Structure 1
């Protein structure tokens, strides 16, 4: 067995691999696995956090995910998983309700999955979602206006914010780039994340549909703590420990 105490580069390479494979690491477990002190592992995690590989948390670290890329590229990724998540999210909408649908590829799939029998008010800041909703005969659509941010695919400026603050929602379907029990829902674009926070403040129930490769992980900017998330919709293959951790945060986890 390699003497990891003498080879810090190899030790950190192994930590990188575990982070990418599992999304998180625990100091005490790494220390036992490599035969080094927890202090040594914490020092390694500090170095890796400076490289942008992870974010330190109490007792370990969480993988810092790379930028998810453009909306166009996200639309063709994980199509099957997003379809199942979108359909499950769509099933949560009730007749007569007022719903906010955030910009994002998974929420776009949800908008395309809605039953023609549903009658409700849909508010969105995303033109592609509004266009998908136009195909449903019984849905009232309110499009929040202003300049479109190309990366997120939605309006997030002052015009959209002023309109958003005048509407109260029964449910809000909020998108995000990463999710972890420690950091909650996070994203890469500051203005988009701030816009999502306002939508969350205006709703009675926050629902997050997200693919499992974004869990656990952390992006640059906070969107919502776990306390603010009511329902998580994700694939069934989510790690059991993470599933339990979200339940412990009083999040209802719906798997597909």
Structure 2
């Protein structure tokens, strides 16, 4: 690791998320050179790259994840927002696609958003949108509320639609999540029996994680992109879900 790469790594560790542009300015080299340095550092497992940024390996920052496949996630959010009417109260769970949906709704419609995501609540602070942030244990890395208190709050509020993120899906397991406490919150939402919509890019299909989200019959529809495998789409429809496909931006 040369001296410039050491500076880059230290900036990423200190700041958590640094753009290629800022790294180029700080080190006095071109953005092309910075990208080459980042490739080297990523291969050596010092950091990882995320659409024009460098982030620490353990970053779960919602904004960082939002920048991955941003154009696609924006299209998914636009489609999801079209399903919500003025005056509705909707639940929006944690995650980058859901954060974009919340911002899109706040910009376009008069709605009330119920969420467990402090990131989403902060994102909407300058909008006219009514926001209900449910309490609980603050999970710092995901910027989300979890735990038995959050489950109780979910039971006490009412909403007509719920938009949920997932970490995996396979025909044998249904929808799954990687975090036990966040999965418990999703399952509390599912128990309310409202229209529940999975909003996710197609990369999650075919993966499996430890914690079940379900049962599957409590989900209403899936919004994803056109990279979804045809056999996965067919199975989801066979299981009774409406599948909405959004074209990937070129």
- Tell me the TM-score normalised to structure 2 length: 0.70
Mark the runs of 5 or more structure 1 residues left unpaired by the alignment.
1-67
How far has the Cα of 1:115 moved from its partner? Answer: 5.5
In the other structure, the counterpart of 1:30 is: none
In the other structure, the counterpart of 1:49 is: none
2:73 aligns with one of 79, 82, 88: 82
2:181 aligns with one of 172, 176, 191: 191
**What is the DSSP-based 3-state SS (H/G/I as helix, E as strand, rest coil) of the residue aligned with 1:199?**
helix
Kindly tell me the number of residue pairs found equivalent between the two proteins: 188
CA shift digits 1:91-118 (9 cap, x unpaired)? 1111222211101111001112226452
CA distance in 1, matches of 2:239, 2:72: 24
Q: Are 2:66 and 2:96, in contact at CA under 8 Å, matched by a contact in 1?
A: yes
CA distance in 1, matches of 2:215, 2:99: 23
In the other structure, the counterpart of 1:111 is: 102
Q: Are 2:91 and 2:163, in contact at CA under 8 Å, matched by a contact in 1?
A: yes
Q: Are 1:164 and 1:199, in contact at CA under 8 Å, matched by a contact in 2?
A: yes
- For the pair 1:150 / 2:155, whether they are aligned, the reply is no
Q: Are 2:177 and 2:211, in contact at CA under 8 Å, matched by a contact in 1?
A: yes
**What is the DSSP-based 3-state SS (H/G/I as helix, E as strand, rest coil) of the residue aligned with 1:165?**
helix
How far has the Cα of 1:179 moved from its partner? Answer: 1.7
How far has the Cα of 1:229 moved from its partner? Answer: 1.4
**What is the DSSP-based 3-state SS (H/G/I as helix, E as strand, rest coil) of the residue aligned with 2:105?**
coil
- For the pair 1:126 / 2:117, whether they are aligned, the reply is yes
How far has the Cα of 1:170 moved from its partner? Answer: 0.6
How far has the Cα of 1:203 moved from its partner? Answer: 4.2
**What is the DSSP-based 3-state SS (H/G/I as helix, E as strand, rest coil) of the residue aligned with 1:95?**
coil
Cα pair distance change 1:142/1:203, threshold 3 Å? farther
User: What RMSD in Å do the two structures reach over aligned CA positions?
Assistant: 1.9
How far has the Cα of 1:175 moved from its partner? Answer: 1.1
CA shift digits 1:114-161 (9 cap, x unpaired)? 264522221001111112233332x22111123321243210123322
Cα pair distance change 1:226/1:181, threshold 3 Å? farther
Cα pair distance change 1:133/1:92, threshold 3 Å? farther
How far has the Cα of 1:214 moved from its partner? Answer: 0.9
Mark the runs of 5 or more structure 2 residues left unpaired by the alignment.
1-57
Q: Are 1:176 and 1:210, in contact at CA under 8 Å, matched by a contact in 2?
A: yes
How far has the Cα of 1:238 moved from its partner? Answer: 1.1
1:101 aligns with one of 92, 98, 107: 92
In the other structure, the counterpart of 2:149 is: 159
